[in-house]
Amino acid sequence: MYMTIGLQRFAEQPKYTEVNPGQDALLVCKVIDKRGVCSWQKDNKPVGIYPKKYEWASQYGIGQTAHVGGDCSLWVRAAQLEFDDGLWECQVTASDFTTQDALTSQPVRLVVRVPPQRPRLEHEGVHVPPGHNVTVDSGAVATVKCVSHYGNPPAQLKWFLGDQEISPIHPQTNSTEPDNPRTWSAASVVQIPANKERHGTVLKCLALHESYAARSVAVEARLDVKYAPTVRLLGAPQIDLEEGKDSLILRCVADANPPASIVWRRAGRSEIASLQESLQLRPVGRRDAGLYTCQAQNSVGTSDTMSVQLDVKYAPKILSAGPDRLTTAPLFSPAAFECVAEGNPTPTYKWVQRISTQGKPFLDRGRESRLVIDNVTYDYQGEYECRATNFINGQERTVTSDPIALQVVGAPQVLRTTSATGGVAGHSVSVRKGDSATLSLIVCADPRPRHVAWEWGSLRLEAGSGIGRYRVDDVTQDSREDCYLATLHIDDADLQDQRPYYLVVENERGTDRHAISLRVEGMFSVVEPLELSYLLGIAGGCLAAFLILICLCIYAVRARKCCFRNRNNYKTSEKDR
């Protein structure tokens, strides 16, 4: 009868192990119901037990044949790359030749660490030295490779774009170095779509390895993305530019890589306005007005065109006013003047006539560049000015022409009265009875009047003569050219002096006759309308009372007669009785 014996089996197999050079490494191998003999292989070759190099971890080790939970673990002392780095297997011989329960573990790597070289970047197969750029055109894809050589195990590579981790296009590849098969080369590749926004961004490859002092080493490069220029315009005027006063600096700022060249042009001209970023106009003039464009260009392409319209304002300037400095026009004929001015904005026009009226030295005559007088009278004689006006930044700019004279020739023309009461031609002058009356009229004539007289009724008094209470002054020069003052004085005015008085003026071109009426007021003529109404009311009331009184008298007389008649009848009847 045979005793049943359990088969050997692993309780714990060796695991992947890393160790720094010169350090000890423990390869764990534990077996349940171990009866066979433990041994180790490295790279498919048996490894012997050597003190201070390869030693059993358990003191019972090889001489123990009946040990439950047998420990076959192995110490590798002072690990070295050339001797100890490789694939290790734990083996146990069968319990006996009939059992066939021999054990062999999975091969595991004991790695004796070797610090990799500093990682390096490659772009399009060319090494990118640290601190240099990865240059790529906008719209293209930058393919960058990170390689870490001669490490054991291979370094773990990670990628960062800016502060963000990015993924490679495929998993990292590791391969042994041809000249040192015990070390490894690690490689990882990323592809980055290049655009303008990524220009200047830092691309970093981070190599992680336990042998590094800081556990990691990084290599960086900046993305140098080449892109066509875009431009923006600075300094465009926000207010009106005035000629001779304002200056202007326009800047065409280009965003480009590589840097772009700038070209300023002016519409309608073949020559280049400027090749600098700034276009300076100090100060601006009207010839600077127009459409300006700027454009930038580099090796990648050309920007869109930016444009700005410059409008230079300038105050008005009279170019001509006339047709002549002196114009002679016959009375009642048409006359015209024309004024031409330049300015920006386009100026407005105003024609004014100089007059001598107190408080108003000018009289508006027109609001167009051309002043047309359809019917010239002596009122229009005098000096005229053309005024051209525009506004720049809310401020008025006005220029005035040299004076233009209008000379009127023709028959006399009576213009107006100038009496103490302020009477106007065609109206009457009022005085109190017994006061002196003065009748005055202004008459204009060119040539000068040769006869001036006042007429009323059958009387005619020439200028400078008088009769009785009537006196005519000599004609005096008025403040206006070719105008004269004719005055009639009447002393101790009486009611019989109320009438029209006619001024008769004559020169070699004709005659004019004009009337002004005199009204002489008596004592009651100045009663106020309210007092007159009151008097009329009293008079009406008195009249009504008088009529009532008459009616009562008539009624009383008739009533008396009736009473007498009745009394006579009464007495007669009494007699009869």
Residue bearing tokens 């101790």? 492
Q: How far apart are the first and last CA of the chain?
A: 213
The pLDDT tens digits of the residues spanning 242-256 come to 999 999 999 999 999
Amino acid identity for residue 269 in this structure? R
What's the mean pLDDT when you consider all of the chain? 87
Amino acid identity for residue 344 in this structure? N
Rounded Cα gap, residues 171 and 49, in angstroms: 40
DSSP for 464-477 reads T-EETTEEEPPPEE
Calculate mean pLDDT across residues 166-182: 94
Residue 394's pLDDT band, with cuts at 50, 70 and 90, is very high
Rounded Cα gap, residues 72 and 239, in angstroms: 95
Rounded Cα gap, residues 227 and 522, in angstroms: 107
Between 1-15, 357-371, 374-388, the lowest mean confidence (pLDDT) is in 1-15
Residue 99's pLDDT band, with cuts at 50, 70 and 90, is confident
Task: List the one residue out of 289, 343, 288 whose CA is nearest residue 314.
Answer: 343
SS3 for 557? helix
Give me 289's structure tokens: 């007005």
DSSP-derived letter for residue 524 is G
DSSP-derived letter for residue 63 is G
Rounded Cα gap, residues 157 and 119, in angstroms: 9
**pLDDT above 70: percentage of residues in the chain:** 88
The pLDDT assigned to 59 comes to 63
The pLDDT assigned to 77 comes to 95
Cβ atoms of residues 67 and 34 within 8 Å: yes
SS3 for 237? coil
The pLDDT assigned to 128 comes to 94
Tell me the residue ranges of DSSP E strands in 106-234.
108-112, 120-123, 126-128, 133-137, 141-151, 156-161, 164-166, 173-177, 180-193, 202-208, 216-234
Rounded Cα gap, residues 139 and 576, in angstroms: 162
The pLDDT assigned to 420 comes to 41
The pLDDT assigned to 205 comes to 96
Q: Which domains does the chain have, with CATH numbers?
A: 9-112 (2.60.40.10), 120-227 (2.60.40.10), 235-308 (2.60.40.10), 315-402 (2.60.40.10), 410-521 (2.60.40.10)
The pLDDT tens digits of the residues spanning 329-368 come to 999 999 999 999 999 999 999 999 998 765 678 899 999 9
- As beta bridge partners, residue 253 has 232
